[in-house]
C-alpha cells in the first residue's frame, strides 16, 4: 500500500498517465447564497477552489467530484456542466469522487462537504469554466499541429475540427497538457446548450444495477477485520465495567476493545462480531438521561412555548395587534425526533501504517473526517487519505461534525494494528442519535373583520443543531438560524404588518443533527398548516387565502397557480377524499404541492401529489423530477410514521417494524412540474420534503374535518 498522495503528485501522475490531459483549474469563486442571501452573516471571502477533469488517450473524460454522490444525481449533473462546455462525446464521460483536499473545498462553507442542497449550483460555474478551458487548450493543440489559426477550429462531439481535418480529444490530450490554462475561457450562451437542461439518464445507473458500484459497506482490504460497538443505551452514559470472556469464546472473535464510544467486538467477519457483542457483559452508568421521557419533554416544551424566547424576526407590535384584532386564532404543533434511517447502515474502514492513514467510507464531510482521523492517528491531515465511496443514503447523517462512525474505525485500527471495518446494525442506527430535533411551536394570529391576518406570533422550542459544533459561531443573539428558517422569513409575513418569531433552544444529552431539509422540515408543517387554519377561520378557500397574501409576481404564487391548475383545485373529488395545499421556499428553491387524501379502514391514504418546483436554471430535468419524488416519499414517511420516542431515558424504536417508512403499496401517484425560470439556481435534493406533510394534513382536514397538529399524523 503506497503512502498518501499529495495534490502535486496526484496531478503529476494523473496528467502523465498515458499522455492524458488533466486540468487543475484555479477559478474565482462564484460566492452566492447562504451567508449573503439567507441571513448567515457576511459573504465568505473570495476563494480559489479547484475543479479537475482528465482526458485520457482513449477519449474518456473523467470528472472528479468534490461532492458526494448519495443518490441525488450529482455524479451526472456535474459532469453535464463540464461536457457542455468541453464539447466532448457524452458517452465517453465518467465521474469519480475526488480525494479529500482543501482544493476541493466548498466555496461558501470553506470545507469539502456535501449538504444544504448546494452541490450543483455551487460547482456549476467552476465546472463549466473547467470544460471551456480544456476545450480551448485542445483547440490550440490541434491548431498548432495543423499550423492554422485556432479561431478557424471548433470542437464537437469529442473532436477538434478544421475543414475536413478531425483530431480526437484523446490524441490531442498530451500536447494540450503542455499549454497554459486559459484564465478566462469563453462560456456558451444558454440558448446554445446541447446537454444542459435536457433530460439525461444517470451515469451511475449501470454500476448500481449490476452491483459493481462500491459502497462503504462493500469495501474489502487484505486482512480486514470487522467490528461492531456496544454503545450505552442512554445518551451520555458511560462504561462502568465490562467482561469480555464470553465474547471472546465466540468463534471468529479476535479482540474486545474499549473505545470512547463504548466497547467494540472485533472479529474475522460481521456475524461473529454481532454474536460476540451479544455475549459481551457491560455495566453502564446511565448519566442524566435516566428517567427521561418524550411525554415529559413534550410538556416542558409546551410550557416554554408560552414564554418569550430569543427574537428571530419582529415587526411592529404583535401583541397589541393581536389584542386589537376582530378574532384571535391559537394553535400548538409538535413534531418528534426523527432518524435519518438510510438504507445503507453507517460504516467506515480504516487502515493505519507508519506515517499514513487511509479511510474508506460513504461520507458527506471529507474535511472533518480527515481532521478527526489525523488527530486520533497522530498525523497531519494531509497524511490521511479519504476514499469516498458511493453513499447508500445520507440525508445529513453522514455529515457529522463529530465524525462519529469514522472516529470509531480509526480508534480500532490504531488499537489492533490492522485494517478494521466498523459496521452499525439497523438497531445501532435507530438508537444511535444525531436525530432531527423534536419541536413544539405555538402559533397565534389575529384576523380583522374581513378575515385578513393583521397579527402573527410564532414561538419555536427545540434543540439547536449548531450548539457544541464547529458551527456554533453561526448562532446569533441566541438564535440558531437553522431552527427558525422558513418561519422567520415565511412569505406571508410581509403582508402581516405586526409579527414576531422567537426561539427557545433547550439543551439535552440527545445528539441532534441536520436532517433532510433541516429546519424547514418542521417550520413548513407549522406555517402551512396554520395558514390553512386561518383560511378556514376566515371562511375562505385555502388557495385564494394564500394568493391574497402573496405578491402577484412572486414565485410562491406562480407555483401555487401551477399546482392548482394541474391538480384541478376546486373540482369535485370522490366521496371521502380531501385536497390540501402547501408552498414553501428552501435552499434557494420554491416548491408547491397539492395532495389528495382519504381515510381507508382507519388509515390515512395519500392517492396523488402534484408538485411544482422553481429551482432556477435546470441542469438535468430528470434529476430534478427524481428528487421531487424522493423528497415527497421521504417526507411522507415522516408525516405518516416517523417518530423516535424515549421511555426511561432509552429509545423505544429499533428497526423498520416500529420505525416505518412508506411501502410500495402506499406510494401515491406523483406528478412533477418544473418551472422555466431565470432566477438564481437553487437546490433540489431537499426542497421537495418540507411541503408534503402540511399538504397531507390540510387535505386530511378537508376530508374529515379533523385538524391534526402533531406528526406523525394519527387519526386516534
Residue-level pLDDT at 184: 92
What pLDDT digit, counting tens, does each position of 568-624 carry? 999 999 999 999 999 999 999 999 999 999 999 999 999 999 999 999 999 999 999
CATH code (residue 178): 3.30.365.10
User: 363 with 464, same domain?
Assistant: no
Q: Is residue 714 part of a domain?
A: no
Residue 109: pLDDT band (50, 70, 90) is confident
User: 416 with 441, same domain?
Assistant: no
Residue-level pLDDT at 45: 28
Q: The domain containing residue 370 runs over which residues? A: 216-287+346-423
Distance of CA 612 to the CA centre of its chain: 20
**What's the CA gap between 236 and 411, in Å, rounded?**
19
Task: Label residue 536 exposed, middle or buried (CB < 10 Å: 0-12, 13-18, 19+).
Answer: middle
User: 80 with 53, same domain?
Assistant: yes
Residues contacting residue 198 through CB under 8 Å, at least 6 positions apart: 620, 621
Residue-level pLDDT at 20: 65
User: 172 with 299, same domain?
Assistant: no
Strand pairing category for 93-97 and 154-156:
unpaired
What pLDDT digit, counting tens, does each position of 399-458 carry? 999 999 999 999 999 999 999 999 999 999 999 999 999 999 999 999 999 999 999 999
User: 169 with 236, same domain?
Assistant: no
Q: What is the pTM of this model?
A: 0.93
Task: Label residue 259 exposed, middle or buried (CB < 10 Å: 0-12, 13-18, 19+).
Answer: buried
Q: Is residue 429 part of a domain?
A: no
User: 206 with 221, same domain?
Assistant: no
Q: Is residue 716 part of a domain?
A: no
Asked whether residue 501 carries a pLDDT value surpassing 80, the answer given is yes
Structural domain ending residue among the three candidates 190, 210, 230: 210
To the nearest whole percent, how much of the chain has pLDDT over 90? 90
Asked whether residue 216 carries a pLDDT value surpassing 50, the answer given is yes
Mean pLDDT of 501-517: 97
Residue-level pLDDT at 368: 96
Q: Is residue 126 part of a domain?
A: yes
**Measured on CA atoms in the order 547, 553, 554, 557, is the torsion positive or negative?**
positive
User: 323 with 445, same domain?
Assistant: yes
Asked whether residue 98 carries a pLDDT value surpassing 70, the answer given is yes
Q: Is residue 358 part of a domain?
A: yes
CA atoms within 13 A of residue 691's CA, in its CB half-sphere: 28
Q: Is residue 379 part of a domain?
A: yes
User: 593 with 684, same domain?
Assistant: yes
Residue 110: pLDDT band (50, 70, 90) is confident
Report the range of poorest mean pLDDT among 49-53, 295-299, 503-507, 615-619.
49-53
Residue-level pLDDT at 1: 36
User: 328 with 362, same domain?
Assistant: no
**What's the CA gap between 654 and 404, in Å, rounded?**
20
Structural domain ending residue among the three candidates 210, 231, 264: 210
Distances (CA, A) of 635 to 7, 174, 343, 522, 675: 40, 50, 16, 11, 22
Residue 337: pLDDT band (50, 70, 90) is very high
Q: Is residue 710 part of a domain?
A: no
Please report how the helices 119-146 and 169-177 are oriented relative to each other, as an axis angle in degrees rounded to 10: 90
Structural domain ending residue among the three candidates 394, 423, 452: 423
Residues contacting residue 657 through CB under 8 Å, at least 6 positions apart: none
CA dihedral 161, 162, 167, 168 (to 10 degrees): -10
Count of structural domains, the chain: 3
Distances (CA, A) of 564 to 107, 583, 612, 669: 38, 11, 10, 16
Residues contacting residue 372 through CB under 8 Å, at least 6 positions apart: 402, 403, 406, 407, 410
Are 76 and 199 a contacting pair, CB within 8 Å? no
Strand ranges for 101-190 from DSSP E: 154-156, 159-162, 165-168
What pLDDT digit, counting tens, does each position of 371-390 carry? 999 999 999 999 999 999 99
Q: Is residue 482 part of a domain?
A: yes
What pLDDT digit, counting tens, does each position of 8-53 carry? 333 333 333 344 666 655 433 322 222 222 333 333 322 222 357 8
Residue-level pLDDT at 576: 97
**What's the CA gap between 32 and 109, in Å, rounded?**
11
User: 412 with 301, same domain?
Assistant: no
User: 315 with 405, same domain?
Assistant: no
User: 320 with 350, same domain?
Assistant: no
The three cell numbers locating residue 41: 452573516
Are 595 and 580 a contacting pair, CB within 8 Å? yes
Amino acid at each position: 500500500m503506497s503512502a498518501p498522495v499529495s495534490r502535486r503528485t496526484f496531478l503529476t501522475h494523473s496528467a502523465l498517465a498515458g499522455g492524458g490531459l488533466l486540468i487543475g483549474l484555479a477559478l474565482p469563486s462564484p460566492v452566492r447564497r447562504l451567508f449573503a442571501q439567507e441571513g448567515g452573516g457576511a459573504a465568505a471571502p473570495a476563494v480559489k477552489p479547484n475543479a479537475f477533469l482528465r482526458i485520457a488517450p482513449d477519449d474518456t473524460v473523467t470528472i472528479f467530484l468534490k461532492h458526494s454522490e448519495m443518490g441525488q444525481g450529482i455524479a451526472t449533473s456535474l459532469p453535464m456542466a463540464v461536457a457542455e462546455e468541453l464539447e466532448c462525446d457524452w458517452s465517453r464521460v465518467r465521474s469519480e469522487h475526488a480525494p479529500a483536499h482543501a482544493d476541493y473545498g466548498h466555496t461558501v462553507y470553506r470545507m469539502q462537504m456535501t449538504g444544504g442542497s448546494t452541490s450543483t449550483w455551487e460547482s456549476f460555474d467552476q465546472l463549466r469554466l473547467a470544460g471551456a478551458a480544456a476545450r480551448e487548450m485542445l483547440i490550440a493543440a490541434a491548431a498548432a499541429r495543423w499550423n492554422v489559426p485556432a479561431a478557424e477550429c471548433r470542437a464537437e462531439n469529442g473532436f477538434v475540427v478544421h475543414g475536413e481535418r478531425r483530431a480526437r480529444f484523446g490524441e490531442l490530450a498530451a500536447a494540450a497538457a503542455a499549454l497554459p490554462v486559459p484564465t478566462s475561457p469563453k462560456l456558451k450562451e444558454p440558448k446554445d446548450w446541447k446537454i444542459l437542461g435536457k433530460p439525461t439518464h444517470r451515469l451511475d445507473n449501470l454500476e448500481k444495477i449490476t452491483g459493481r458500484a462500491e459502497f462503504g459497506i462493500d469495501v474489502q482490504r487484505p486482512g480486514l477485520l470487522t467490528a461492531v460497538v456496544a454503545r450505552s443505551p442512554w445518551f451520555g452514559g458511560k462504561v462502568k465495567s465490562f467482561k469480555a470472556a464470553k465474547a471472546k469464546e465466540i468463534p471468529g472473535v479476535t479482540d474486545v476493545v474499549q473505545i470512547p464510544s463504548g466497547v467494540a467486538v472485533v472479529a474475522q467477519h460481521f456475524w461473529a462480531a454481532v454474536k460476540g457483542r451479544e455475549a459481551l457483559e457491560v455495566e453502564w452508568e446511565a448519566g442524566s438521561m435516566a428517567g427521561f421521557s418524550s411525554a415529559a419533554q413534550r410538556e416542558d416544551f409546551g410550557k416554554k412555548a408560552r414564554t418569550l424566547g430569543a427574537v428571530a424576526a419582529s415587526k411592529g407590535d404583535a401583541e397589541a395587534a393581536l389584542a386589537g384584532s376582530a378574532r384571535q386564532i391559537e394553535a400548538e404543533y409538535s413534531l418528534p425526533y426523527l432518524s435519518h434511517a438510510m438504507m445503507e447502515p453507517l460504516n467506515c474502514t480504516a487502515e493505519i501504517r507508519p506515517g499514513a492513514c487511509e479511510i474508506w467510507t460513504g461520507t458527506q464531510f471529507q474535511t472533518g473526517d480527515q481532521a478527526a482521523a489525523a488527530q486520533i492517528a497522530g498525523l497531519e491531515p494531509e497524511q490521511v487519505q479519504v476514499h469516498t465511496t458511493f453513499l447508500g443514503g445520507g440525508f445529513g447523517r453522514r455529515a457529522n461534525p463529530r465524525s462519529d462512525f469514522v472516529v470509531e474505525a480509526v480508534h480500532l485500527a490504531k488499537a489492533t494494528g490492522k485494517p478494521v471495518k466498523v459496521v452499525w446494525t439497523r438497531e445501532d442506527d435507530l438508537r444511535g442519535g444525531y436525530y432531527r430535533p423534536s419541536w413544539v411551536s405555538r402559533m397565534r394570529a389575529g384576523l380583522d373583520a374581513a378575515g385578513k391576518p393583521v397579527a402573527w406570533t410564532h414561538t419555536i422550542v427545540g434543540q439547536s443543531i449548531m450548539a457544541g459544533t464547529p458551527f456554533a459561531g453561526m448562532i446569533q443573539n441566541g438564535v440558531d438560524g437553522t431552527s427558525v428558517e422558513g418561519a422567520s422569513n415565511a412569505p406571508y409575513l410581509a403582508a402581516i404588518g405586526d409579527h414576531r418569531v422567537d426561539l427557545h433552544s433547550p439543551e439535552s444529552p440527545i445528539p441532534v443533527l441536520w436532517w433532510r431539509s433541516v429546519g424547514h422540515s418542521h417550520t413548513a408543517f407549522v406555517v402551512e398548516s396554520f395558514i390553512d387554519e386561518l383560511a378556514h377561520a376566515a371562511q375562505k378557500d385555502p388557495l385564494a387565502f394564500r394568493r391574497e397574501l402573496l405578491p402577484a409576481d412572486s414565485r410562491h404564487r406562480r407555483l401555487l397557480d401551477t399546482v392548482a391548475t394541474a391538480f384541478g383545485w376546486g373540482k369535485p373529488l370522490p366521496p371521502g377524499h380531501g385536497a390540501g395545499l402547501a408552498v414553501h421556499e428552501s435552499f434557494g428553491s420554491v416548491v408547491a404541492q397539492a395532495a389528495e387524501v382519504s381515510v381507508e379502514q382507519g388509515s390515512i391514504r395519500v392517492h396523488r401529489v402534484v408538485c411544482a418546483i422553481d429551482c432556477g436554471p435546470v441542469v438535468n430535468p430528470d434529476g430534478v423530477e427524481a428528487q421531487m419524488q424522493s423528497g415527497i416519499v421521504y417526507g411522507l414517511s415522516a408525516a405518516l410514521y416517523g417518530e423516535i420516542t424515549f421511555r426511561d431515558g432509552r429509545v423505544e424504536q429499533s428497526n423498520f417494524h416500529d420505525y416505518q417508512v412508506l411501502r410500495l403499496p402506499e406510494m401515491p401517484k406523483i406528478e412533477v412540474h418544473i418551472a422555466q425560470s431565470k432566477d438564481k439556481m437553487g437546490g433540489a435534493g431537499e426542497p421537495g420534503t418540507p411541503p408534503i406533510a402540511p399538504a397531507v394534513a390540510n387535505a386530511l382536514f378537508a376530508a374529515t374535518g379533523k385538524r391534526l397538529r402533531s406528526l406523525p399524523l394519527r387519526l386516534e
